Amino acid sequence: MEWHNPFIGAAGFSQVRLFNMHPTGKMHAAERLRAAMGHGGIEDCSNAQNCVKACPEGIPLTESLAEVNREVWKQALFGWNGW
């Protein structure tokens, strides 16, 4: 939660999850997951859950982070998206 931190943020990863779940968004899912693996990506999440405190209720930020993290690991280990 720093000003100059390159971390994409929970809202960005929620968008990755949303786009990757949509039938038309799946064709670019691997590209999004590669971006999530890069600098400022999912590995920079500190799991402090500050995003939950700062975000309006009803948005499953931690679920999105967990789902994107799973998909990134699948992409990194197996080179496939699981779709």
* pLDDT (tens digit per residue) in 22-43: 999 999 999 999 999 988 889 8
Which of 25, 23, 14 minimizes the C-alpha distance to 56? 14
Whether 58 is covered by a domain: the verdict is: yes
Nearest-angstrom CA–CA distance, 6 and 9 = 9
- Give ∠ CA 79-81-83 in degrees, rounded to 5: 140
Q: Is residue 15 part of a domain?
A: yes
In a domain, 21, yes or no: yes
pLDDT beyond 60 at 81:
no
Who's near 8: CB < 8 A, 6+ residues apart? 36, 40, 41, 44
8 A C-beta contact, residue 62 and residue 14: no
Q: Which domain holds residue 46?
A: 10-78
3 located within any domain: no
Which stretch of 16-20, 50-54, 71-75, 79-83 has the lowest confidence by average pLDDT?
79-83
Please report whether residue 37 resides in a domain: yes
* Selected residue with higher pLDDT from 8 and 56: 8
How many structural domains are present in the chain?
A: 1
Is residue 5 domain-resident? no
Q: Is residue 38 in some structural domain?
A: yes
Mean pLDDT taken over the chain? 85
Residue 1 lies in a domain: no
According to DSSP, residue 59 is labeled -
